[in-house]
Amino acid sequence: MDIIYILTNEAMPGYVKIGKTSTNMEQRIRELSSSTSVPLPFTCFYACTVEDAPFVEHQLHDAFDNNRTNPRREFFQIAPERVVAALKLAEIENITPKKELIDDKEDRKAVRKARAKRADFKFSMVDIPVGTELVFSRDENKKAKVVDNRSIEFNGEKTSLSLSAQKILGYNYGVAGTDYWMYEGETLDERRRRFEEN
């Protein structure tokens, strides 16, 4: 069974790599991340097995062609959750790794530093007032309420976007909560980028 994956890289915020592999996911990420031509290692945002990986990959590349940076590369400027939504149509089994696949200590430190910098999100920067309800992109039954400029209330407890997303996903490493929580049909990261461009 072949695998389709969606990778992100903290050195390239706003971009995703959509690819396929017939080897195991861990091996593929390590191959791509070990290159000295990428400043930081890749993180697997989502991976699943599919029936016909070349066909599914081609369809995804075609569907998001307007977001493609270079026709000869597999990079797209798009919120990763948009690609996940399309990929789920062909998914057989979700095999997204639950642990971070970064072996090198220096790489781990650099990724954490980049994540912390990007996580500096305030609801006021995107005109979301206290009391607003947010929806989790992968399960619209999971909702949270904005309680102050940086925090939400989820399941009756005050927490951050990132910690709540990590908990829901069951990952043992940090994630960017703005990639998963949504307001008015867009992820908070998409909304932030839109506001920054305007």
Tens of pLDDT, residue by residue over 2-48, are 999 999 988 888 899 999 998 888 888 888 887 767 788 888 899 99
Helix or strand or coil: residue 124? helix
The type of residue at 51 is E
Mean pLDDT across the chain, nearest whole number?
89
Confidence tier at 151 by pLDDT (50, 70, 90): very high
Average pLDDT, integer, range 132-147:
95
Confidence tier at 158 by pLDDT (50, 70, 90): very high
14: alpha, beta or left? (left if phi > 0; alpha if psi -120 to 50): left
pTM comes to 0.78
Average pLDDT, integer, range 88-95:
94
Alpha-helical (H) ranges within 19-136 are 25-33, 53-63, 80-87, 105-118
Backbone angles phi, psi at 112, to 5 degrees: -60, -40
Average pLDDT, integer, range 170-188:
89
Q: How far apart, in whole angstroms, are the C-alpha atoms of residue 111 and residue 39? A: 10
Give residues with Cβ within 8 angstroms of 156, minimum separation 6.
none
Q: How far apart, in whole angstroms, are the C-alpha atoms of residue 12 and residue 69? A: 12
